[in-house]
Structures are given as C-alpha cells and as structure tokens.
Amino acid sequence: MKMRNDSTTYQRIWKIVQSIPHGRVATYGQVAVLAGFPGQARLVGYALHATPEEMKLPWHRVINSRGEISFPPDDHRYHIQKKLLELEGIIFQNNKIDLKIFRWNPGEKIP
C-alpha cells in the first residue's frame, strides 16, 4: 500500500490530533483510522513530524499502541512529551499510560 504524504492527507490527520481533548491520549493507529487511513499508523508519525511549529498542535497526546511514548527514554523529546502529558493529569506507571483510563473516545463527554 502506497503511503500518501500530500498536504490534504496531513491536514486530515492534524484535524484529528487537534480534536484530542486535554487529559486524553490517542494512539497513532487510532488517529490513522479516524482520519480515514486505517493500517497507516506510521503516516500519522510522518504528519506529526511535518507539523508547522506555528500550528500549536497537541502532538504530545499521540502515543503508541502499548500506551508508551515512542521516543527513546534517553531522547529529550521523550521527557518533553512525558512532562506535557503529566501536566494534563495523565499518570504513568512504569513509563506506561493506562489506555483503559486515558484513551480518548471521540463520543465521550469530558467534564
């Protein structure tokens, strides 16, 4: 399957990421499905990497399917992402986020 990287594709992904509420996370695969690109979790990573800085996208709310930050723990971006999530009330246990508690469900009402 050919990966798409045109701006319309990225805009669809960015729109989904922008919708993730404060205090919730979504997985790369979940974002891909919601944007209309099932099975293309890596495409979400490419789109996040290509995000213009002025967009102020909440990129930190996107994690992998294991409930982990995808950056290596010795990478400064890992620590930035973890701190941003913790500031939103997301709790890590053994460097993992409990997806049953913190995964975004697009239909839920957040108090």
pLDDT at 105: 93
In whole angstroms, give the CA distance from residue 19 to residue 31: 10
Q: Which CATH number is 7-100's, of 3.90.1170.50, 3.40.640.10, 1.10.10.10, 3.40.50.150?
A: 1.10.10.10
**Could you give the residue ranges of the DSSP H alpha helices within 1-111?**
7-19, 28-35, 41-49, 76-87, 99-102
Give 10-residue mean pLDDT values along the chain (111 residues).
65 96 97 96 95 92 98 96 98 96 85 56
Going 85 to 95 to 28 to 51, the CA torsion angle's sign is: positive
In whole angstroms, give the CA distance from residue 98 to residue 13: 23
Mean pLDDT, rounded, of the chain: 92
pLDDT at 1: 41
In whole angstroms, give the CA distance from residue 2 to residue 15: 22
By three-state DSSP, how is residue 93 classified? strand
Q: Is the pTM of this model over 0.85?
A: yes
**Domain ranges, ordered by start, for the chain:** 7-100
